[in-house]
Every structure is written in C-alpha cells, then in structure tokens.
Structure 1
C-alpha cells in the first residue's frame, strides 16, 4: 500500500510556516541576502572583494 503524502500550502513566508519568531524580519533579511548575492555574482566579484566592499573582516 502506498503511503499518503500530506501537502501543506505555504503562506508565502516559510519562516511563518515554520512557526519561527519574527518571520517578517527573517523574510526581509533573506531577501537582502539574495539580492546582495545576485549583485556579487553579476559583478564577478571574489569572496574577498565582496567582503572588502561590505566592510567584513
């Protein structure tokens, strides 16, 4: 007999779906990281160049 698969529809915020505290804040932070990563990739930057640009030691 095949096992039934339970499907749960997302609210659009995975952090809220997981019941984490401050889900809206976490979603904004995740979006910022995604956008920064995209820019770094588009600029063909190394990790060192990106860290220097962002002021990360």
Structure 2
C-alpha cells in the first residue's frame, strides 16, 4: 500500500512526465502512468507507404 494514495500521471513520452512520475513515486504515491493513442498509424500511410 502506498503512503499517500494512488495518482494517475499522463505520460507523453517526454522527460517532464517521466520526472513527474518519478518524483511522485519518491514522495510515496502509487503512480499509474497512462497514455492515449491519438492517431491510427497503421492507416495513415506514413512510413509504410509503397512508392513506385
């Protein structure tokens, strides 16, 4: 059981959210990192697009 309770941290993949999660953990919180998929890479054509 955590000292202060459970918190959700929105993880962007950058250093700020990572450090925030680490600091909350060090303060005694149970940290749960969450992310949100905002783009369908499989259907975007991006780097998987074939060229002629």
Same fold at TM > 0.5? no
Compute the TM-score of the two structures, normalised by the length of structure 2.
0.30
Compute the TM-score of the two structures, normalised by the length of structure 1.
0.27
More helix by share: 1
Larger relative contact order (Cα-Cα within 8 Å, sequence gap ≥ 6): 2
More strand by share: 2
